[in-house]
C-alpha cells in the first residue's frame, strides 16, 4: 500500500475536468502541495478560479516535464491516457499512480458497492443507489455516472453507503480500493483505442475484485463465459445471475419470474411484466441489483417495491415521447456496438436508427447484421459514418441515409418514420466528434424532436 506523509508530499493531478477538480480539493484538505495540469487552456476550462491555485500550481495548455514538478504521487482523471510522457516517467521512477477513485476511497470508511461492465453500468448503479436508500443509511451515488467520488464520499462513516459506477479507466490505476460488493455485468470489446487489446481491457475491469476479502461479495454474469470463469479465482463470496435461465444457486429467470435460489429453495422476487424497463439486457442490470440489495439487508418486499417504480436513467433508452404516432427513444449512452445492439433488440416495432459519431476502435459488421434484421432505415452521421456505411453494405443493409449534421440526421430520421414506428438514437459511437459528451448529444436530440413538432421540451 502506498503511504504518504501528505503534509510533505507534492501531488500532480492530471486532467482538470470534474474528477480532477474534485481530486485537487481533496488533496488540499489532506494538506499536500497540489499541482493541476491539463492540455486545455484556462479559457477552455471552467471552475478553476474556485480552487485557489496560483500560476505555479496551475499548469495549463501543455503537460509539464517531470523536473518542473517532481511529484510524490500522480492522480489521473479517467479520460487521461497513461501513455503521456509525464505519467510514463512517473511509472519508470516507481512513483505511485492513482486513479481519482483510489484517492476518493482510500480513507473512506463507508460500505462500498462498485459496479463495472461494458454496458448497463449507469442503470445498475442508479438502481442499486435507489435500493440502498431504502436501507435508510446515508447513501451517495457517484463515479463514472457523472459525479466525482472525491469530496462526495467524505464525511461518511461505517454506516454510510457509497455506490460507485467504475469504468475501466478508473479501475486501471487503483491501489487498495476495495468494494464490499463488486458487480461485473458483462464484457464486450470496448475502448480498444485506449487499452490496445481485449485482454488488457478485461484485466482493467477485473481489478474491481483485486482487493476483496473472504467477507466481500462478487456479483457475476453466469451467461458471460469469461466472467463465469473468473468466479473460481476470486477471494470473495460469489453469486451469479442469469437473465436467460434458472440457476439452482443464484438469481435467474423461471417462467417470466426473477427468482432467487439457494440451498434447494427458491423465492420469486418479481415478474417481468411488473418491470418498466424493456429488454433482456435490463434483466442483467436488475438481477445484479437484486443481489446487491439482498446483501445490504433489504427484504424481498422492499426490493420488489423499488423495482416496480424504477423508470431507468436519462439517455439510456429514455422515452422522449410519441408524436403523430411515432415513438422517439433517446439512447445516446449507447456508445458502443454491444449497447446499441441491445437497444435494437428491446423493440418489436419498425425502427429508424440514428447512429454514428467517433469510433473507439470497434468493428461494425456484427452490429450491422442486427441492423439488417431490425431496422427499416439507417441514418448515419459523424466521423464513423463512412466506415459504418461500408459495414452496413457488406451485411446487406438496404436503406442507408447519410446526414450532413446531427440536426440534419434527426430531420431525415423523422422523414423516414411513420405511425407505429420507433425513431431510436443509439449511436454505437462516442459523441466526441461533435459534442462534449453523450448527455449533450441526447439533450439536443430531445430538443430537436420537440422543436420539429412544436412541442415544449
* Residue 397 in grid coordinates: 443493409
Q: Quick check: 137 and 160 in contact, CB under 8 A?
A: yes
Q: Quick check: 234 and 212 in contact, CB under 8 A?
A: yes
pLDDT at residue 1 is higher than 60: no
pLDDT at residue 74 is higher than 70: yes
Cβ neighbourhood burial of 343 (10 Å; 0-12, 13-18, 19+): buried
pLDDT at residue 156 is higher than 70: yes
Q: Quick one: pLDDT band at residue 421, thresholds 50, 70, 90?
A: very high
184: number of Cβ within 10 Å: 26
Instruction: Concatenate the DSSP letters of all residues of 231-253 into one string.
Output: GGG-SSEEEEE-SSS--SSEEEE
Mean of pLDDT values over 242-261? 95
CA angle 273, 442, 432 (to 5 degrees): 130
Instruction: State the Cα–Cα distance between residues 145 and 123, nearest whole angstrom.
Output: 9
3-state class of 338 per DSSP? helix
Instruction: State the Cα–Cα distance between residues 428 and 341, nearest whole angstrom.
Output: 8
Q: In residues, how long is the chain?
A: 457
User: pLDDT digit string (tens) for 400-410?
Assistant: 999 999 999 99
Instruction: State the Cα–Cα distance between residues 139 and 134, nearest whole angstrom.
Output: 10
Mean of pLDDT values over 158-164? 96
* 196 or 8, greater pLDDT: 8
* Residue 188 in grid coordinates: 464486450
Strands 161-165 and 181-184 come out as: unpaired
> What does the pLDDT read at residue 189?
64
Read off the DSSP letter of residue 84. S
> What does the pLDDT read at residue 279?
79
pLDDT at residue 312 is higher than 70: yes
Q: Quick one: pLDDT band at residue 194, thresholds 50, 70, 90?
A: low
Q: What is the pTM of this model?
A: 0.80
Mean of pLDDT values over 104-131? 94
Residue with cell 461533435: 434
444: number of Cβ within 10 Å: 19
Q: Quick one: pLDDT band at residue 195, thresholds 50, 70, 90?
A: low
Mean of pLDDT values over 381-395? 97
Residue with cell 483510489: 102
Contacts of residues 264-270 at CB distance under 8 Å and 24 or more positions apart, as own/partner, are: 267/300, 269/300, 269/303, 269/304, 269/307, 270/303, 270/304, 270/307, 270/308
| Domains parsed from the chain with CATH numbers | 8-95 (3.40.50.720), 102-309 (3.40.1190.10), 318-452 (3.90.190.20)
Cβ neighbourhood burial of 54 (10 Å; 0-12, 13-18, 19+): exposed
Mean of pLDDT values over 42-67? 91
pLDDT at residue 242 is higher than 60: yes
Per-residue b or e along 137-174, where b marks 16 or more CB atoms closer than 10 Å to that residue's CB: bebbbbbbbebbbbbbbeebeeebbbbbbbbbbbbbbb
User: pLDDT digit string (tens) for 4-13?
Assistant: 899 999 999 9
Residue with cell 460469489: 238
Query: For residue 117, how many C-alpha atoms fall within 13 Å in the half-sphere facing its CB?
Result: 26
37 bridge partner residues: 14, 59
pLDDT at residue 240 is higher than 90: yes
Amino acid at each position: 500500500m502506498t503511504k504518504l506523509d501528505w503534509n510533505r508530499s507534492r501531488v500532480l493531478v492530471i486532467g482538470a475536468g470534474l474528477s480532477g477538480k474534485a481530486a485537487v480539493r481533496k488533496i488540499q484538505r489532506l494538506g499536500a502541495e497540489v499541482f493541476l495540469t491539463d492540455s486545455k487552456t484556462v479559457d477552455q476550462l471552467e471552475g478553476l478560479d474556485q480552487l485557489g491555485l496560483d500560476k505555479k500550481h496551475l499548469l495549463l495548455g501543455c503537460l509539464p516535464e517531470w523536473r518542473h514538478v517532481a511529484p510524490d504521487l500522480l492522480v489521473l482523471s479517467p479520460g487521461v491516457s497513461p501513455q503521456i510522457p509525464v505519467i510514463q516517467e512517473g511509472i519508470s521512477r516507481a512513483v505511485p499512480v492513482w486513479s481519482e477513485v483510489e484517492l476518493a476511497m482510500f480513507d473512506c470508511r463507508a460500505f462500498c458497492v462498485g459496479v463495472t461492465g461494458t454496458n448497463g453500468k449507469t442503470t445498475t448503479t442508479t438502481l442499486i443507489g435507489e435500493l440502498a436508500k431504502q436501507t435508510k443509511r446515508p447513501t451517495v451515488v457517484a463515479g463514472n455516472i457523472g459525479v466525482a467520488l472525491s469530496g462526495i464520499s467524505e464525511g461518511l462513516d461505517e454506516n454510510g453507503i457509497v455506490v460507485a459506477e467504475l469504468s475501466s479507466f478508473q479501475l486501471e490505476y487503483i491501489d487498495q480500493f476495495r468494494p464490499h460488493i463488486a458487480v461485473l455485468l458483462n464484457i464486450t470489446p470496448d475502448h480498444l483505442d485506449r487499452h490496445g487489446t481485449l485482454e488488457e481491457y478485461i484485466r482493467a475491469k477485473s481489478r474491481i475484485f483485486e482487493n476483496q476479502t473472504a467477507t466481500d461479495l462478487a456479483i457475476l454474469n453466469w451467461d458471460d463465459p469469461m466472467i463465469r470463469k473468473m468466479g473460481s479465482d476470486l477471494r470473495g463470496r460469489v453469486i451469479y445471475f442469469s437473465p436467460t435461465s434458472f440457476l439452482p444457486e443464484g438469481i435467474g429467470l423461471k417462467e417470466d419470474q426473477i427468482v432467487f435460489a439457494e440451498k434447494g429453495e427458491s423465492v420469486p422476487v418479481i415478474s417481468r411484466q411488473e418491470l418498466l424497463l424493456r429488454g433482456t439486457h435490463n434483466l442483467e442490470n436488475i438481477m445484479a441489483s437484486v443481489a446487491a440489495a439482498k446483501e445490504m439487508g433489504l427484504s424481498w418486499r422492499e426490493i420488489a417495491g423499488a423495482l416496480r417504480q424504477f423508470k431507468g436513467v436519462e439517455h439510456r433508452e429514455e422515452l422522449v415521447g410519441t408524436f403523430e404516432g411515432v415513438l422517439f427513444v433517446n439512447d445516446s449512452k449507447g456508445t458502443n456496438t454491444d449497447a446499441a445492439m441491445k437497444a435494437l433488440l428491446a423493440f418489436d416495432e419498425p425502427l429508424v436508427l440514428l447512429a454514428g459519431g467517433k469510433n473507439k476502435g470497434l468493428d461494425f459488421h456484427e452490429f450491422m447484421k442486427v441492423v439488417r434484421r431490425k431496422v427499416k432505415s439507417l441514418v448515419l452521421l459523424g466521423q464513423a459514418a463512412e466506415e459504418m456505411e461500408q459495414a452496413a453494405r457488406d451485411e446487406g443493409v438496404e436503406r442507408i441515409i447519410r446526414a450532413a449534421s446531427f440536426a440534419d440526421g434527426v430531420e431525415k430520421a423523422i422523414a423516414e418514420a411513420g405511425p407505429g414506428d420507433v425513431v431510436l438514437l443509439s449511436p454505437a459511437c462516442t459523441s466526441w466528434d461533435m459534442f462534449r459528451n453523450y448527455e449533450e448529444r441526447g439533450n439536443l436530440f430531445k430538443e430537436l424532436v420537440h422543436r420539429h413538432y412544436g412541442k415544449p421540451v
